[in-house]
Amino acid sequence: MFKKILIANRGEIAVRIIRACKEWGISTVAIHSDVDRESMHVKLADESICVGSHQPANSYLNIPAILSAIELTNSEAVHPGYGFLSENYNFAKILEENNIKFIGPSAKHIQMMGDKIQAKKIAKEYGLPVIEGSEGGVKNIDEANKILKNTGLPVLIKAAGGGGGKGMKIVRNEKEFENLFLTAKLEAKKYFGNDEVYIEKFFENPRHIEVQILAGKNRVVHLHERDCSVQRRHQKLIEETPSPILNDTIRRDLFERTVNMVKKIGYEGAGTVEFIYEDGKFYFLEMNTRVQVEHPVTEVVTGIDIIKEQIWIASSGETALEQKDIQPRGHAIECRINAEDPSKNFQPSPGTIGMCHQPSGFRTRVDGAIYQGYKVTPYYDSMVCKLICHGRNRTEAIQRMNRSLDEFIIEGITTTIELHKKLINHEKFVKSDFNVTWLDKEKII
Phi and psi based region of residue 164 (left: phi greater than 0; alpha: psi -120 to 50; beta: remaining): left
CB 241 within 8 A of CB 226: yes
What's at 231, amino acid-wise? Q
CB 312 within 8 A of CB 270: no
Q: Is position 252 annotated as part of the catalytic site?
A: no
Closest CA to 243 of 289, 204, 297: 297
CB 211 within 8 A of CB 288: no
Alpha carbon 306 to chain centroid, angstroms: 13
Please state, in angstroms and rounded to a whole number, the distance separating the CA atoms of residues 312 and 320.
8
CB 222 within 8 A of CB 258: yes
Q: 340-341 and 364-368: which strand pairing?
A: unpaired
Distances (CA, A) of 286 to 62, 136, 422: 27, 14, 30
SS3 391: strand
The one catalytic residue in 16, 207, 290, 400 is: 290
CA dihedral 69, 73, 78, 84 (to 10 degrees): -20
First to last CA, the chain: 48
The DSSP string of 122-134 is HHHHTT--B-SB-
Interior angle at CA 55, CA 269 and CA 15, nearest 5: 40
Annotated catalytic sites, by residue? Answer: 290
